[in-house]
Amino acid sequence: MSRRPDGENVGVAHGRWGEDVAVEWLRTRGYVIVDRNVRPCRGDARPEIDVVAYDGDRDVIVFVEVKQHARRSEFQRRLRSVDRRKRGVLLHACRSWLRWNRWRGSYRFDVVEVYGEPESSSRPEIDHVERVRLFGKSERFVNWED
């Protein structure tokens, strides 16, 4: 496990940097950041929501999973790190957040992929994938393409 001089795990530091980049990117597009790094499941610390945001233009809560990658590769598919197990954990966390906060409105799940590294002099590239299918159709999941 690689560590920085301050003792922090390099992967954790890069992930935090990716989240900071994603949050700033969302803010510049009008999202209100409601919460970050939320663990809404009592008794289970695994499920974590990276960012909970509010899209005021559409009056919808947006759960955001942030993925940081050193570089973009044409050989790797998008959303590759949000596998079936991760989706199940995120679904559980999002539902818990909705119950805990008594949100009765619409909501959706997005993934923001940040390509770059904190030490790099170049600007990171960002892919914002909206309306990733995480919730069932019977829920208040918003999909404007249906």
The pLDDT confidence band at residue 13, using thresholds 50, 70 and 90, is confident
Residue with the bigger pLDDT between 90 and 47: it is 90
* Residue range 118-139: mean pLDDT, rounded: 79
Res 2: pLDDT: 55
140 CB-near residues (< 8 Å, 6+ apart):
104, 105, 106, 107
Question: What does the domain layout of the chain look like in residue ranges?
Answer: 10-129
| 89 or 5, higher pLDDT | 89
Per-residue confidence at 41, pLDDT binned at 50, 70, 90?
Answer: confident
Contact status, residue 105 vs residue 56, Cβ threshold 8 Å: no
DSSP letter for 17, please.
Answer: H
Side-chain-side CA neighbours of 139 within 13 Å: the count stands at: 17
CATH architecture of the domain with range 10-129: 3-Layer(aba) Sandwich (3.40)
